[in-house]
Structure 1
Amino acid sequence: MENVINKVVLSGYAGADAEVKTFGSQKLARVSLAVHDAYKNAAGEEVKNTNWFTLTFWNANADLAEEQIKKGTGLSIGGRLRQSSYDAKDGSKRYSTDIIVTELAIKDTGAKTAF
């Protein structure tokens, strides 16, 4: 069987301060990451696009995210994708894809952390 890789590398800017929640002894921090993209369309006009990703940090990594990631902070991250589903209040099934962050470099300070 071939090796299977689940690896994501992104560079962008935090859309908001880290949102932190505690579940018993577990701590979770989520941060939205804006990644800008630009290309030229068929008419030769530049088209700018922003993609949003949800970054997830757990426990001690959540503490680090809470302390160091504020809106507008430049981030380069490495991690893995995790898909999940849940039932919304209206009864519909919802799906989400998060990035579990395993490597973090904060552009503003140059600090690098591998979890």
Structure 2
Amino acid sequence: MTDFITVTGTLGTDPEHRVVGDGLNRTTFRIASSERRRVAGSNEWEDHHTNWYSVTCWGRLATNTKASLEKGQRVIVAGKLRISSYTRDDNSQGTQVEIIANSAGHDLSFQTATATKRPGQADREAGRWASPGAGGLAAGATASPDALAGVLAGAEPLVPSGGPEPEGTGNVEGRSAGAEADGSEAQQSEGGLVSSHDEYAEAPF
């Protein structure tokens, strides 16, 4: 059975990073988690008891904790609890309480922090959240007029699914071409409708 634990405390050592085995990243550090009690008869608080934990991070978490955490900062660590015994130099027995971290970061109750994405992460996330029907453009993204024209060129025309075409809307391209052949100038309204008839030129649509 695996016990999971979440601890908030103060970083007691600077993170120590090593590459072990077949190129595995490992970072270790110690955190102190103190029980706070109010001093009787006052509004002050003091540390009553302190537990020390050894924390081990592996892989990407190991690299990021080394780059992000420093001694003295308040942190939150979550992971698997491992308790083991060891023999000291004087042959006495000791107990080590270790956390194999799944996640670690700053405790924002006591400080602020600015997150920085890893190199290449932003590009991967942009591709992941791209809309399938938007020609590869992510939601909220902008494109140049030339690129947008290329996307619209491949769109299906908006035509009725069946039945007779509404009067005055059928074969717009043919009527426009015919108007030019007759010598009349095709007009285009603000709404984008094309007509060769003068009475439609001032229509408010």
Q: TM-score, normalised by structure 1?
A: 0.70
- Displacement of 1:23 in angstroms is 1.7
After superposition, the Cα gap between the structure-2 partners of 1:14 and 1:58, relative to the gap in structure 1 and judged at 3 Å, is same
- The equivalent of 1:48 in structure 2 is 47
CA contact (8 A) 2:65 2:104 kept: no
- The equivalent of 1:27 in structure 2 is 25
Unaligned segments of structure 1, at least 5 residues: none
- The equivalent of 2:6 in structure 1 is 9
- The equivalent of 1:75 in structure 2 is 75
Larger radius of gyration: 2
Note the alpha carbon deviations across 1:87-114, whole angstroms, 9 max, x for none: 6666766542210111223133175xxx
2: CA distance, partners of 1:12 / 1:82: 18
Greater mean deviation of Cα atoms: 7-16 or 31-40: 31-40
2: CA distance, partners of 1:59 / 1:29: 9
Q: 1:109 aligns with which of 93, 96, 113?
A: 113
In structure 2, give the amino acid aligned to 1:48: D
Q: 2:36 aligns with which of 38, 41, 66?
A: 38
2:60 equivalent to 1:60: yes
Unaligned segments of structure 2, at least 5 residues: 116-205
Q: Secondary structure at 2:72's aligned position in 1?
A: coil
Over aligned residue pairs, what C-alpha RMSD do you find? Answer: 2.6
Structure ranking higher on relative contact order (CA contacts 8 Å, 6+ apart): 1
Q: Secondary structure at 1:62's aligned position in 2?
A: helix
After superposition, the Cα gap between the structure-2 partners of 1:51 and 1:95, relative to the gap in structure 1 and judged at 3 Å, is closer
- Displacement of 1:84 in angstroms is 3.8
After superposition, the Cα gap between the structure-2 partners of 1:37 and 1:85, relative to the gap in structure 1 and judged at 3 Å, is closer
Fraction of identical pairs, as percent: 24
- Displacement of 1:60 in angstroms is 1.7
Structure ranking higher in helix proportion: 2
After superposition, the Cα gap between the structure-2 partners of 1:92 and 1:23, relative to the gap in structure 1 and judged at 3 Å, is farther
1: CA distance, partners of 2:114 / 2:32: 19
After superposition, the Cα gap between the structure-2 partners of 1:84 and 1:77, relative to the gap in structure 1 and judged at 3 Å, is same
Structure ranking higher in strand proportion: 1
